[in-house]
Amino acid sequence: VDQQLAERLSALYERVGAVVQAASPRCEMSGRCCDFPVSEHRLYASDLETEYAVAAAGGKVPPTTSGQCPWYVDGLCQNRKGRPLGCRVYFCDPAWEEGMPLVYERFHAELRVLHDEHALTYSYRLFVDAVVETPRGTPFGTPSGTEASC
């Protein structure tokens, strides 16, 4: 069941990627989506997403005391495969301002359904806090491959 859950979440993320790619918002490589203390961007994710992210990183969460996402290193995301929905839809492009919340809400609703169908308690909190608190050795296997780009 856990593997099935991971596959369903992965498929959901792939569909998010297809929708975002079709809209092709511009990434300015500003780091605003990951450098939370500087941007004051507040990234939330469900615990399911956080557990998936930790598993995707092979259970490795770099230490962070800065308040930045632990996987934000030298201006790049080191956990592209595991990043949650909020990261996948966030772009600084002003032309994406209207589309972003619509896409987020659409797939966030799907995430809620995924929780319901797997009888999971829904918990939604600040990603950077949840990552630090998530126990290692998560229920998911480690998705294969790594990507490292913003």
Which positions touch ligand SF4 (CB under 6 A)? 33-34, 43, 69, 71-72, 77, 79, 83, 87
Tell me how far CA of residue 122 lies from CA of 64, 75, 80, 107, in angstroms.
Answer: 26, 31, 23, 15
Please, which residue, 117 or 136, has the CB nearer to ligand SF4? 136
**Residue type at position 27:** C
Q: Which residues contact 100 (CB under 8 A, 6 or more apart)?
A: 25, 89, 90, 91
CB of 118 to ligand SF4, least distance (A): 23
Could you identify the residue written with the tokens 């079709």? 22
Q: Which residues contact 69 (CB under 8 A, 6 or more apart)?
A: 34, 35, 36, 43, 77, 127, 128, 131
Please, which residue, 70 or 114, has the CB nearer to ligand SF4? 70
CB of 48 to ligand SF4, least distance (A): 15
Please, which residue, 14 or 117, has the CB nearer to ligand SF4? 14
CB of 37 to ligand SF4, least distance (A): 12
CB of 18 to ligand SF4, least distance (A): 18
Please, which residue, 79 or 138, has the CB nearer to ligand SF4? 79
